Amino acid sequence: MTRVEALRVKIFADGADLKGMVEIAKNPLIKGFTTNPSLMRKVGVTDYAAFARSALLAINDRPISFEVFADDFGTMIAQGREIASWGKNVNVKIPVMNTVGEFTGKVIRTLAAEGIVLNVTAVMTLEQVLAVAEALHPDVPAIVSVFAGRIADTGIDPIPHMQRCKIALSNLQRAELLWASPRELLNIFQADEIGCDIITATNDILSKLALVDKDLAGYSRETVQMFYRDALASRFTFRVPQSDAA
């Protein structure tokens, strides 16, 4: 059994390119999908509902997260209900706060109490995880997405932080901890080692799974060969003084 096959953490593909989502869904390692408004804007999605329904029609056997985009709590709740109605495998993404920093606990409590499966996103702090845990319904599945990659970008080691977040959710048997915004393939194995339930990954990270257990000496030679090919292709000129060339 290879290291990839031994992974316990579930890998969710992160993106909003429908063609790419359908293609990556053929990989049995992919256990779900996440999207967000920024990813949709990046690929030019303009009709949110049409995109979501197309994705759900193509992928109906694994969870897909779609995010509300309102900023007031009442509209968030209404959008959450509508998004949840799109399919049985929908997870409704709710940001942990609105744009003025108000905790969305009311939205989380209301929708979770209605049995809607939530993915609480943009979580950073342990205090936020504890507050989200308090707002979730213990009998309703949920995902808490902690942005470990962004935390690492600030110079903080995300591993002990994620371990504390895992403990904070330990009393909620149906809540899963998601390692969001990974920066490298190694993060998948780190998330697995500390007991994260899910990790998201974009296609550029997922493409590196083929490198797992690769022979490093051979990889070193391939790297040198790449540098050499690129140097030749660039047609560099390099005059070496005669005395140095001897």
Task: Find, among 51, 87, 81, 55, the residue nearest to 68 by Cα.
Answer: 81
Residues 199 and 9: beta-carbon distance below 8 Å: yes
Q: Taking each helix axis as running N to C, give the angle between helix 126-135 and helix 158-168, from 0 to 180 degrees, rounded to the nearest 10.
A: 20
93 counts as catalytic: yes
181 Rama class: left (phi>0) / alpha (psi -120 to 50) / beta: left
End-to-end CA distance of the chain: 53
Given the residues 42, 93, 106, 208, the one annotated as active site:
93
DSSP state, residue 61? S
What does the alpha-carbon distance between residue 246 and residue 241 come to, in Å, rounded to a whole number? Answer: 9
Map residue 2 onto helix, strand or coil. coil
How are beta strands 198-201 and 90-95 bridged, if at all?
A: unpaired
Residues with catalytic function:
93
